[in-house]
Amino acid sequence: MRLRTLSLAAASGTALLAAGLLPAHASAAAPKSAQEGTVSAADLLAKVTSCSQISSGKYKTDEETSATVPVCGKNGAVFWKADMDIDCDGQRTTNCNEDRDPWFQADTAFHQSDGKPLKAETLPYVVVPSTSGIWNYSNAGIKGGGVVAVIYNNKVEYAVVGDTGPSQIIGEASYATAKALGIDPDPATGGADSGVTYILFKNSKVSPIESHSAAVSLGDQLAKQFLASN
C-alpha cells in the first residue's frame, strides 16, 4: 500500500530526473498488451455506465484530492472508476524494492499459497481500501484472491485482490497490472491520473492466488456471467 501525496510523488520524479536516475522504462514507449479473455472492454464498460452507490461515502484518489469516487453495486460485482497508483509491495524484485519505491513495504495483505507475500512486479493484483465507515469490502463479498477486471484504454487485464491500502483512498494496482495495461509502472513517478475502471466479482477466489492464468480463466467466465446478469 502507499501513503503518498501528489507533491511528494512529483518531487521524487524531479529528483530522479535531476540525478539522471530515472529508470529507462519510465520514458520508454508503453508496453503492448494483448486483450485478456474473450469479453471486450466495451462490453464490460457498457454495463457500468451508471452507479448504484453501496459505499456510505466516497473516496479520494490521492491524499490531496477531494473525495469523489463511490463504490457502486451491480449483480455479482462491485465497481469503481478512479486513477491508478502503483503498488510495488511484497517480495523484493528488480523493480520493486526500497531503492525503486519510496513507499516500499515487504509484505502484502494477502499471501501466496506458500505463505510468502505476493510479487507486485510479476502478479497483476488490485489494492482495496482498508475497512472503514466508508465501506467494508468483505461485507460486500470481496475477499483476498478475488477476481478483478481492470479496464483501461480499451484493454482488459484480469487481476486478483492482493493488498489493502489507506482507508480513505481508492485506485491502486500492482506494477504488473499497470505494465500489462500500458501504464507507466514506475512506483515513484508512474500510474494513470484517471480512466481506470475496476470491476470486482463477488465471492470469487483464484486458487492459488499467484496463478495469473487461473485468474484469467476464472475472470473470463465471471465476465460472461456479469454481462448476462446486468
pLDDT digits over 170-225, tens only?
999 999 999 999 999 999 999 999 999 999 999 999 999 999 999 999 999 999 99
Question: From CA 183, how far away is CA 155, in angstroms rounded?
Answer: 11
- The contacts of residue 24 (CB under 8 Å, 6+ apart) are none
12 C-beta neighbours (distance < 10 Å), count: 18
Nearest-CA neighbor of 203 among 77, 65, 43? 77
The better pLDDT of the pair 18, 108 is held by 108
The better pLDDT of the pair 3, 48 is held by 48
Q: What is the pLDDT of residues 39-67, one digit of tens each?
A: 999 999 999 999 999 999 999 999 999 99
Q: What is the pLDDT of residue 177?
A: 98
Cα angle: 150, vertex 185, 187; to 5 degrees: 115
* SS3 call for 117: strand
C-alpha cell of residue 171: 485506485
Residue 34 Cα distances to 20, 31, 155, angstroms: 32, 10, 8
* Amino acid (1-letter code) at residue 181: L
pLDDT at 6 > cutoff 70 = no
DSSP 195-206: EEEEEEETT---
pTM: 0.87
Share above pLDDT 70 across residues of the chain, in percent, rounded to a whole number: 85
pLDDT at 7 > cutoff 50 = no
- pLDDT-derived band at 34, boundaries 50, 70, 90: low
pLDDT at 86 > cutoff 90 = yes
Cα angle: 227, vertex 210, 121; to 5 degrees: 100
Rg over alpha carbons for the chain, rounded to the nearest Å, is 16
Nearest-CA neighbor of 175 among 100, 225, 228? 100
